Amino acid sequence: MKSLLVTNPGSRCGDKGIEEIEARLQRWGELVRVNPEQPEDLPEAILEHGKQVDQIILGGGDGTVNLALDALLEVDRPLGLLPMGTANDLARSLNIPDDLEQALNIVLRGHQRRIDIAFANDVSFINAIGMGLGPQMTREMDSETKAQFGVVAYLVGIVRAFHKQRGFAAQVDGGSCRFDGRFLQITVANGIHYGGGMTVAEDAKIDDGLLDVLLVPEQSRLALLASALRFRLGQTRDADNLVHRRCKALRIETDPPLAITADGEFLAETPVECKVRRHALAVYTPE
**Residue 15 sits in the site that holds Mg ion (CB under 5 A):** no
Size of the site for Mg ion (CB under 5 A): 3
**Residue 210 sits in the site that holds Mg ion (CB under 5 A):** yes
Choose the binding region for Mg ion from 13-21, 46-54, 134-142, 201-209 (rule: CB under 5 A): 201-209
- Residue of 208, 218, 265, 273 that binds Mg ion (CB under 5 A): 208
- Report in angstroms how near the CB of residue 275 gets to Mg ion at its nearest: 12
Q: Which helix (H) or strand (E) holds 239?
A: none
- Nearest to Mg ion of 22, 116 (CB atom): 116
Which runs of consecutive H residues, i.e. helices, occur in the chain? 18-28, 42-49, 62-75, 89-93, 100-109, 133-140, 143-147, 151-164, 221-233
- Measure the CA–CA gap between 249 and 169, rounded to whole angstroms: 20
Output the furthest CA–CA distance in the chain (Å, rounded).
59
- Report in angstroms how near the CB of residue 55 gets to Mg ion at its nearest: 24
- Report in angstroms how near the CB of residue 192 gets to Mg ion at its nearest: 8
- Nearest to Mg ion of 224, 250 (CB atom): 250
- Nearest to Mg ion of 134, 191 (CB atom): 191
Of the candidates 127, 98, 274, the residue with the CA atom closest to the CA atom of residue 192: 127
- Report in angstroms how near the CB of residue 63 gets to Mg ion at its nearest: 21
- Measure the CA–CA gap between 3 and 24, rounded to whole angstroms: 12
**Orientation angle between helical segments 221-233 and 151-164, nearest 10 degrees:** 130
Choose the binding region for Mg ion from 37-45, 66-74, 138-146, 202-210 (rule: CB under 5 A): 202-210
Choose the binding region for Mg ion from 107-115, 208-216, 230-238, 249-257 (rule: CB under 5 A): 208-216
163: how many CB neighbours lie within 10 A of its CB? 10
Contact 131, 259 (CB under 8 A): yes
- Nearest to Mg ion of 41, 208 (CB atom): 208
196: how many CB neighbours lie within 10 A of its CB? 24
- Report in angstroms how near the CB of residue 220 gets to Mg ion at its nearest: 31
Choose the binding region for Mg ion from 3-11, 22-30, 118-126, 206-214 (rule: CB under 5 A): 206-214
- Measure the CA–CA gap between 260 and 271, rounded to whole angstroms: 10
- Report in angstroms how near the CB of residue 185 gets to Mg ion at its nearest: 19
Of the candidates 129, 127, 219, 235, the residue with the CA atom closest to the CA atom of residue 181: 219
**Residue 48 sits in the site that holds Mg ion (CB under 5 A):** no
Binding site for Mg ion (CB under 5 A): 205, 208, 210
